[in-house]
A and B are shown apart, each in its own frame.
Chain A
């Protein structure tokens, strides 16, 4: 299969790219730090993927999306799967103090991710179908105290992805919305891991399965599906009292 990934240099994206490489998929990586991107390309080539190439793409600069996707399509011929695992995060307290970063986070996680997906959608549909796999978050499932701003960006994204799936699945565009709970990556490095914290390698296995099956939503680690079912069911009065 031909895979395009935005956000494969670190975290869950890095782990997922290795699973694709290990089974011989052709990969095209998009990212914003040239040296880092090149190191990931070589890493995947060394691990045995048949073909890996890359092009620059900055999630914070929507003008880079078109040339990036064009380059990917040119290199691969067709794109079977497009994965977006790039995203920004900071704890609520930090976001409240840093207006500029909050603006970038909202821009990256919602507006620009949606714009990127729109361009990917057009290309995938024009080529006769494929899969769009995007990392949202459990933080988008329910308004909660610790993730007011980040959660809002992901809620918007989850909503978009769900609608996209309803609207285009019949035409051949399968949308997979990944909802990670807490996963130990650089993104969460400053935080104390909760009891069900996941490892990126294990999470990547679950995501790969979801992509292969075309599951519209996948919670990772899977236990978060139950946790969120409970949290979504809690009355507002309770949510106002608790701190999670």
Chain B
């Protein structure tokens, strides 16, 4: 065990914890203490769900073994610390890919369950839960139980979006996607404002399962919401240009497709922000028609530890979703408030989400918008104000990114919270599993 100062991807807050690094289920079981424990995967949540001040953090990245693969059924059973990056490296060459993936591949299976992560095709594929058949969970009383849609189904569903607070997920069985190639057909659509953007989402929905838009956070007035919508779908063998057919399932991006810009230790100010946004715009709008998955899914992974670019104070991401209906009316004032706030919004991403699943899973049908903010004076006040605006339009904030939401706001965003709390009270009445996030938003003591 080491006393360590750790943080989420946003480097805020930074918290002193006792960190253990167990490599097997038996070691995890041995390390469980009643004094307050939280599991941690690859630490890609932005805020504080995987830190536990003065308590125990179990870093599970050493639990990285595969426990079985059924080629015919495309079922992979693996330990919870296995990353999607590892699954891709080992299984893409055999024609399989994770069914659901977030915008970085450096995430663990356990973390993907605990945040019930969504990808760029949520309205078609659903959340990560869609790909999970069953899991084994170590409960507060030291018991290991299997949870699936049939067995312990209450626990199964509560674990998705459950932020690691019901038990330690030891391993899971996932359904993988069969792929012919590791490439994507993609198309970039430049839009001049928010209205055009929302219309473009609707238009391309039927044709392409994957869609994501980048918008210029500093554009105001008529140009508010200007940006680029990228849509795409898995490329079949026939879609590939002849040169790429020799290695259709390649896992490392050919260099010609690598990101054409990089961000050294940039300092963030409105000027660099504007330049950067311009560059991203250019790149997005002129993307090749056939893109490797590295570029299509994980453009930011190419930049390595880009989160350090925000400096010592760190940053947060504010991601919220608002209902589809009347989307423009709901989202426009929030974007305007952000543009006028004087804070430095960076990397603004808009996606469309499909039907709601689970108890605490973030996605609900609507538009989701994510904005990075460097930590600065006045940010907390702005975010509290935005929380109210989001609640007013029946939206909610993503706990996997959040570092500021209050315990008063949470129930107003997640209508099924009480159901979840009842399950927590049943399986972990003593709050053996707790984290900074849990205490802040009132999910555990």
Contact = CB atoms under 8 A, between A and B. Distances in A.
B21 interface: yes
B342 interface: no
A190 B90 contact: no
A9 B24 contact: yes
B23 A46 contact: no
A39 B23 contact: no
Interface in B194-246: none
A29 to B, nearest CB: 12
Interface string B49-90: 000000000000010011111000000100100000000001
Contacts of A126: none
A14 B23 contact: yes
A40 B23 CA distance: 11
A233 interface: no
Nearest to B82: A43
B178 interface: no
B66 A43 contact: yes
A35 B27 CA distance: 12
A241 interface: no
A39 B24 CA distance: 9
A46 B24 contact: no
B24 A10 contact: yes
A14 B79 CA distance: 14
A32 B1 CA distance: 23
B23 A186 contact: yes
Contacts of A36: 24, 26
Interface in A1-44: 9-11, 14, 33, 35-36, 39-40, 42-43
B2 interface: yes
A9 B24 CA distance: 9
Given A42-B68, A43-B67, A47-B66, A190 B1 contact: yes
B62 A186 contact: yes
A167 B97 CA distance: 52
Contacts of B67: 39, 42-43, 46
B22 A186 contact: yes
Contact of A42 (B26, B62, B65): B65
Contact of B2 (A11, A39, A47, A192): A192
Contacts of A43: 65-67
Interface string B1-37: 1100000000000000000111111110000000000
Nearest to B91: A46
Contacts of B2: 189-192
Interface string A44-82: 001100000000000000000000000000000000000
Contacts of A47: 66, 90
Contact of A35 (B21, B26, B68): B26
A163 to B, nearest CB: 34
Nearest to A9: B24
B1 A189 contact: yes
Interface string A88-121: 0000000000000000000000000000000000
Nearest to A38: B67
Contacts of A40: 65
Contacts of A190: 1-2
A3 to B, nearest CB: 18
A33 to B, nearest CB: 6
Contacts of B20: 189
A188 B69 CA distance: 32
Interface string A177-220: 00000000010011110000000000000000000000000000
Contacts of B27: 186
Contacts of B90: 46-47
Contact of B66 (A9, A33, A46): A46
Contacts of B24: 9-10, 33, 36, 39
A10 B20 CA distance: 15
Nearest to A48: B90
A222 to B, nearest CB: 24
Interface of B: 1-2, 20-27, 62, 65-69, 76, 79, 90
Given A33-B24, A36-B24, A47-B90, 13 more contacts: A9-B23, A9-B24, A10-B24, A33-B26, A42-B65, A46-B66, A46-B67, A46-B76, A47-B66, A186-B22, A186-B62, A190-B2, A192-B2
Interface of A: 9-11, 14, 33, 35-36, 39-40, 42-43, 46-47, 186, 189-192
26 contacts: A9-B23, A9-B24, A10-B24, A10-B62, A11-B23, A35-B25, A39-B25, A39-B79, A42-B65, A42-B66, A43-B65, A43-B67, A46-B67, A46-B68, A46-B69, A46-B76, A46-B90, A47-B66, A47-B90, A186-B21, A186-B27, A186-B62, A189-B20, A189-B21, A190-B1, A191-B2
Q: Which 6 A-B pairs have the closest CB atoms?
A: A43-B65, A46-B66, A10-B23, A189-B21, A46-B69, A43-B66
